Structure 1
Amino acid sequence: MVPDLPSPSRRSLLASAGLALAGATVGVGATRPTALPDPVTDQASKWLPDPTDHRWHPPVSEAHAREAVGRLADEVERGRELWEELDDDDDRFTGAGGHLDSARDDLESGDHRGALFSATYGMQFAGEDVGVALARLDRDGGDPERLAERGEAILERATAVAEAVADYPVADPGRDLGWYHEIERRIRLARLDAHERDPDRDRTYDARDIGTMYGGNLRAEQRVRDAEYLHERLRDRVGDDAEQWADRVDRVDGRVREAIDGFPSRETVREEVRALDEGTPYALARWKLSMWCYDTDYLVADWDEDLSLLNAVEAAQALAQRRAHDRAVDALVMEPDGPRSFDSGHVIREKRAAMRRFRRVVGDSPAPLLSILTERAGEDIDVAEVGFAGSYERPIWRDRVDAYCYALVARMKLKEYPRVFERFVDRA
C-alpha cells in the first residue's frame, strides 16, 4: 500500500518556483538563452540589471526652489479665496492637485530639484482654477487681452535669455553645453506655455479657456525664471576666459542635417515595412524600429531658430537613430519568412549586450551633454522587459519582440553616440 503524500501548499510551490526562476536568471549568463524555457527568460528580462539614472540635471538651490513653491502656495491661496466668492454647486476648487504638498515634502527632504518640478507642474492646476474664477467673477486678471499682454512680456524675457546665451561661451564643452541645452529647453517650454494673441482669429473665450491661458502663463513665467537662474549659475562656472562655441554648433548642425538627407524619408521606410507579411515577428520588429528611429521632432522644433544648440542636439539624435535603425535591421535574429513565434531568450542576450555597451559608453558619471544625448537609450534598456507594456489580448510573442527591439535599438544607438558627442566637443 502506498502511503498518502502530503499536498504541497501554495506558498511552498510559489517559493520553489521563485527559487527556480532566480537560479535560472543567474544561469542565463552561463547558458545559451534560447535553451531556457520562455517563462523563465520572460521573468529574467525583468531581473537583469538596468541602467542607473544617469541623466544629468543642473543643480537647484534651496532658495530658488523655495521661491517657486512660495509662488505656487500664493496662487493656491488666491484661488481658494476667489472660489469662496463663487456660488457653484456643480464645480469646486481643486488647488494644485496635490503638487503643493509634494513640493513641500521635497523641500523638507532636501530634494530641491524635485520641489521645483512639483511646484512648476502644480502651477498649471492652480492657475487654471484661478483663471476660471477670475473669468466667472469678471475680474481684470481674467481678461484675454490682459492675458495676452502678460504672455508677450514672458516671451520677451525668454527671448532675452536666448540672446544672452547665443554665443555659447564654454570652458568645458561637455559640461557647459549640457547647461546651455537645459537653458534652451526651458525657453522652448516657456514659449509653448505662454499665451499669445492670435491675430487671425476673432473668437470668444469661456471660463475654462481663460483658466488654461492663465495657468499656461503662470508656468511659462516659472520656466523663464529657471532659465535666467541657470544662466546666472553657468556664468559663474564658465568665467571670463571661455571660448565661444556658436560657430562650432552651427557647423555640427549643418553637417548632421546634410547626413540625414542621405537617408530615405520616413514615409519611404514606412512603405517598405507595410509591404511585409503582417503578423510575423520580423514585420513587427521592422515596424517598431521604423517608428522609434524615424521621428521628425528635429524638424518640427525648428521654428525656434534662435535655440541653435537645442536644435542641433535633436538633429544629431535623429541622425544617430537613423544609423541605429539600419544597424538594428541588419542584426535582427528573425527572418521575414520565419515562424510566428519568438523565443524570449533573445531578449536576455540582447539586453545583456546593451548593458555592456551602456557601461562602456556612459559609465557612472558621464559629461552632462553625453548624458542628455544617451538618455533615451538608457530608458530603452530599462523597459526591455517582457510584459512591460503588454496586453493579455495579444500573443505573448509580440511582447517579447517589443522587449528585444528596445534592447537592440538601445545598443545600436549607443554605438553612434560617442561620435555624436565628439562632434560637439571637438576643439579642432
Structure 2
Amino acid sequence: MSPDDIPSPSTENSSTGDPSDDSSPSGDSPPDNDSSSPDDTPLVHSRRQFLGLLGGGSAVFAGMSWFAPTWLPDPITDQFVIHYPEPPAHVWRPDMSDEHADKAVARLEQIVEQAQTLKERGDPDSIPRRLQMHLRQGDPTGGWLESAKSASNTHERLSYATIGMMFAGETVGAAKAVLDEVDPEELVERGKRIQSRAEDVLDSFSDYAVSDPTRDLAYLYFVEQSLASARFQSRHWERFVGENDYTNDAIADTYASYLQAEQHLDDARYYRELYRENLGDQTEPFADALATSLTTLTQSIAALPSHVEMRERVEDERDLDQQTPYGAARWELLSICFDGDYQFNYGPDGHRHGHTVQRLVETANALLGRRAHEFALDELDVDPDDTNYDSGRTFRAKRRAVRQFNSVRKTYDSPFAGVLAQDAAELIHAGELGIDMADGTFPMWRNRVESATYYLASEGQMRAFDEVFQSIFDGS
C-alpha cells in the first residue's frame, strides 16, 4: 500500500482569516501552571461548546490580543490552541470532476461484484487461516464503497473508492489463491504493463512545456504524484519472477496493489488533461529551468548541516533526552526540519525516477525545513533547565504561524505556491493533535512544547518562502 493511499479523509477548512494580532504583552504573566495539577484536563471538546462557553465567534480570538495568553489556566488555553482557525486542509489542488470520481466508484462496484462471485465459489472449510480475514462475509471493502457513493465532495469520493479497491482487491486475490486460479506469468505481465503505461504518461510531457510556470507546474506535480503511486504499486510483479516461493498473502497484496495502481494511472492521465487544457497558446519548454532550480536548491541544502550531522549534535549534548522541554523540543525539531526522504526513490531504479517537478517540490520543502530550524529553536525560548511549558506560549506560536501563513499566501497566491505551502499548512494542522488527543501518556508540558515546535517550524518555513520560491522561478 502506497503512502498516498493512507486513509485520511477530512473536510476542507476554508476559515483562514486571523481575527487577532500579536500585540499582546508577552511578559509579566503569573507563574506557569503546574502540569501535574488535577485541574489540568480538557474542559470542553467541541468548537461549538468552547465558543459558546466564552461568548462565541471570532471575537473570542480577537480578544486574546488584549492580554497575554499565559494569564489563562493551561486547560483553557489548550482549547484556544485546538479551536483557533487554521489554513485549508488542501492549500491548492486541481478540480476533480464528477465524471472522474464516479468512474472510480463504478470501477469499485465492479471489483466488489467480482469479489462476491469468487467468494461464493470457494469452499469455506478449505480457506487457509491467514486468508480468512480477506474472505469473511459482508462488504469486502469494509464500508469504503458506501462512503464513496455517499460522499458529496468529489476528491473524497475518489479517495474513498481508491481505498476500497485495496480491501476488495485483497478479497479477489485471496479467493483466486484458494481457487487455484492464479497465473504468476500474467501477474508479472500485468505489473509491467502498468509500469510501461506510466512511463508513457511521463514521457508525454518530458519537455515540461508551460505558458505560466507557476500554474502549469502545479498540475504536473499532481500528475507525477499519481504516477509515483502507480509505479510503486505495480512493482509487485518482481515477487513472481523465476522460482520465487510466493505466498497467498503476496497474491492478495498484488491484486490489491494493481487495482490501486491502475486507478492512480487513470488519475495521472486526468491531471495531465487538466494541465493541457489550461496551457495557453504560447508555450516554452521549462525542463532546463527546472534542472537549474533543482541544482540551486540542492546546493543550498548541501551548504547546511545534514540530517546525520544534526542528529549527532543533539546526541552529543549531555543528558539531552525528551524528559525536559528543551530536550523534547530539540528532538522534535530535528524530526520536523531535517527529514532526508527528499533524496529517495529518484535514482534509476526508483519509482519516482524522472519526476522532476515532484523532486523539486520535495527538495524545496527540505530547504524550507532547514531554514526554519534555527528560527523555531530561537522562538521557542526554551532553556535546558526549564521544567514546564505554558500552553499560552503554544497558542501564541499557533497564532503567529497562521498569520504568517495567510500573509505569504496573500502575496503568493499561485497554484504552485499553494503546492509549496502545503507542508507548512500540514504542520499547523498537526500541531494541535498532541494536545487534542493527549491521553496522559506524557506530561502535558511535553505535548504543548512539541505542538509549539510544529507551529514555529511552519512559521519559519513561510518566512523563508520568498527566498526559495524566487530561486525556483527567478521572478517569473
Normalising to structure 1: TM-score of the pair?
0.89
2:312 maps to 1:265: no
Once the two structures are TM-superposed, the CA of residue 283 in structure 1 deviates from its matched residue by 1.3
- Contact 1:21 / 1:40 at 8 angstroms: preserved in 2? no
Deviation digits for residues 148-187 of structure 1 (CA, Å, limit 9, x no counterpart)? 1100000000001111122111112111111000000011
**Structure 2 residue aligned with 1:302, among 346, 354, 361?**
346
Once the two structures are TM-superposed, the CA of residue 400 in structure 1 deviates from its matched residue by 1.1
2:259 alignment counterpart: 218
- Contact 2:336 / 2:454 at 8 angstroms: preserved in 1? no
Give the aligned length.
Answer: 410
What amino acid is the match of 2:360?
A
2:423 maps to 1:381: no
Superposed CA RMSD in Å reads: 2.5
1:47 to 1:199, Cα distance in 2 relative to 1, 3 A? closer
2:183 alignment counterpart: 143
2:8 alignment counterpart: none
Alignment of 1:38-187 (within 5 A): 38-88=74-124, 91=132, 92-93=136-137, 94-106=139-151, 109=152, 111-139=153-181, 142-187=182-227
Once the two structures are TM-superposed, the CA of residue 16 in structure 1 deviates from its matched residue by 11
- Contact 2:380 / 2:452 at 8 angstroms: preserved in 1? no
The more displaced of 351-360 and 62-71 is 62-71
- Contact 2:211 / 2:281 at 8 angstroms: preserved in 1? no
1:285 alignment counterpart: 329
Alignment of 1:198-237 (within 5 A): 198=239, 202-237=243-278
What amino acid is the match of 1:112?
T
Gaps of 5+ in 2: 1-42
Gaps of 5+ in 1: 1-12
Distance (whole Å) between structure 2 residues aligned to residue 421 and residue 174 of structure 1: 10
1:3 alignment counterpart: none
2:416 maps to 1:350: no
Once the two structures are TM-superposed, the CA of residue 360 in structure 1 deviates from its matched residue by 0.4
Alignment of 1:268-417 (within 5 A): 268-274=309-315, 275-277=317-319, 278=321, 279-303=323-347, 304-337=352-385, 339-363=386-410, 366-385=413-432, 387-417=435-465
What amino acid is the match of 1:250?
A
Distance (whole Å) between structure 1 residues aligned to residue 410 and residue 124 of structure 2: 56
The more displaced of 247-256 and 303-312 is 303-312
Once the two structures are TM-superposed, the CA of residue 276 in structure 1 deviates from its matched residue by 4.4
1:399 partner SS = helix
Identity over aligned pairs, percent: 37
Distance (whole Å) between structure 2 residues aligned to residue 218 and residue 253 of structure 1: 33
Distance (whole Å) between structure 1 residues aligned to residue 314 and residue 412 of structure 2: 39
Which of 1 and 2 has greater Rg? Answer: 1
1:276 to 1:249, Cα distance in 2 relative to 1, 3 A? farther
Distance (whole Å) between structure 1 residues aligned to residue 418 and residue 280 of structure 2: 23
The more displaced of 198-207 and 57-66 is 198-207
Distance (whole Å) between structure 1 residues aligned to residue 270 and residue 85 of structure 2: 36
1:238 alignment counterpart: 279
What amino acid is the match of 1:299?
Q
Once the two structures are TM-superposed, the CA of residue 71 in structure 1 deviates from its matched residue by 1.3
Distance (whole Å) between structure 1 residues aligned to residue 295 and residue 328 of structure 2: 34
2:14 alignment counterpart: none
Once the two structures are TM-superposed, the CA of residue 74 in structure 1 deviates from its matched residue by 0.8
- Contact 1:369 / 1:421 at 8 angstroms: preserved in 2? no
2:231 maps to 1:191: yes
What amino acid is the match of 1:371?
G
What amino acid is the match of 1:148?
V
1:424 alignment counterpart: 472
Looking at secondary structure, tell me which structure has more helix per residue. Answer: 1
- Contact 2:365 / 2:423 at 8 angstroms: preserved in 1? no
